[in-house]
């Protein structure tokens, strides 16, 4: 083999090494950030979950003591988990149904439709603190618009955030204000459904409801699957609104799990216990995510499967 034949290959290898070095150099800040701000805290929280640490003194190893306390003696753990489960399993279906209904209505070729899409989406990107303050005013028992609307129908007034029986439903109603992000995902899914399927359904004499049930919903199931997973994950981590609006009250009716975790970490200075709570939450979310993936084969359909 001549030197002339070897030279281009050596140049190619040298260029590949330079390109790889340049790529890793560009990725270094991102990789460093992931290690420093994600991987590192995850490992630290796992270690701290087996300790008693008050942030001021060195951590003391307690083994499974934190987890035993959660299971046996901490009465606020089942309370906070129950509140979170109520919010999740009642709120998420309502959020998904509302977002889907909005997407169907906004998936029309009408004049000014872009304005309405923007108007329905904007509340979902409003800062959480601003949303909370807005809804404190809406739920005000004396001059809030919620009681005003009820008064028009001869109902109320309701002490929305001061009555333990309606506080959690009030938070669920408030969560519908921010479904614009999910609406956009559904809108993208609707616009990805081929027109020829609707044309075939029209030829077969299908009406609007039949087209929605037999064409739209089956082909939208991958999108519904995604939004369900993300909705449950997000709802299990509800914190900001409860912290700002009620701080867990009244009578711990809105003491959600992450809010109680925050109290243990930064109010009671029980960082080890809070870390164990975080890992329990991780296991719960992972379990529900696994169950959804396991059941997805029974109800999630794709266009190719429908053709066959």
Which range of residues forms the domain containing residue 15? 3-48
CA distance 10 to 14: 6
**Per the domain annotation, does 33 fall within a domain?**
yes
Q: Are residues 223 and 146 in the same domain?
A: yes
How many domains would you assign to the chain? 2
For residue 189, is it within any domain? yes
Q: Given its phi and psi angles, is residue 238 left (phi above 0), alpha (psi -120 to 50 degrees) or beta?
A: beta
Is the same domain home to 28 and 157?
no
Establish if 69 belongs to a structural domain.
no
- Greatest C-alpha distance within the chain: 96
Confidence at 1, pLDDT banded by 50, 70, 90: very low
For residue 105, the domain's CATH number is 1.10.3720.10
Q: What is the DSSP letter of 224?
A: H
End residue of a domain, out of 14, 31, 48: 48
Identify whether 68 is part of a domain: no
**Do 239 and 121 belong together in one domain?**
yes
pLDDT 10s digits, 133-189: 999 999 999 999 999 999 999 987 999 999 999 999 999 999 999 999 999 999 999
State pLDDT tens for residues 137-153.
999 999 999 999 999 99
DSSP state at residue 56: S
Q: How far is CA 121 from CA 43, 113, 178, 187, 258, in A?
A: 37, 12, 8, 11, 26
**pTM, two decimal places:** 0.88
Domain check: are 210 and 250 in the same one? yes
On whether both 237 and 288 belong to a single domain, the answer is: yes
């Amino acid at each position: 083999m001549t030197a002339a034949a070897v030279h281009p290959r050596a140049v190619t290898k040298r260029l590949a090494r330079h390109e790889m070095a340049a790529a890793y150099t560009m990725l270094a800040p991102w990789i460093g950030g992931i290690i420093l701000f994600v991987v590192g805290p995850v490992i630290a929280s796992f270690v701290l979950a087996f300790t008693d640490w008050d942030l001021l003194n060195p951590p003391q190893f307690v083994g499974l003591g934190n987890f035993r306390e959660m299971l046996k003696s901490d009465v606020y753990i089942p309370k906070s988990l129950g509140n979170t489960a109520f919010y999740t399993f009642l709120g998420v279906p309502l959020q998904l149904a509302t977002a889907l209904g909005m997407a169907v209505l906004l998936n029309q070729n009408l004049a000014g439709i872009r304005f309405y899409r923007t108007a329905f989406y904007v509340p979902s990107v409003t800062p959480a603190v601003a949303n909370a303050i807005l809804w404190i005013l809406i739920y005000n028992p004396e001059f809030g618009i919620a009681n005003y609307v009820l008064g028009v129908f001869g109902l109320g007034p309701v002490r929305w955030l001061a009555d333990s029986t309606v506080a959690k439903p009030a938070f669920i109603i408030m969560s519908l204000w921010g479904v614009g992000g999910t609406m956009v995902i559904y809108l993208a899914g609707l616009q990805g459904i081929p027109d020829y399927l609707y044309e075939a359904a029209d030829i077969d004499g299908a009406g609007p409801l039949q087209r929605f049930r037999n064409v739209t919903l089956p082909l939208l199931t991958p999108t519904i699957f995604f939004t369900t997973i993300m909705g449950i994950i997000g709802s299990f981590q509800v914190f900001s609104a409860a912290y700002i609006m009620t701080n867990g009250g009244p009578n711990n009716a809105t003491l959600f799990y992450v809010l109680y975790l925050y109290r243990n970490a930064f109010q009671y200075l029980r960082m080890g216990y809070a870390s164990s709570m975080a890992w329990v939450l991780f296991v719960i979310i992972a379990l529900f995510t696994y169950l959804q993936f396991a059941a997805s084969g029974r109800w999630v359909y794709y266009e190719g499967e429908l053709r066959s």
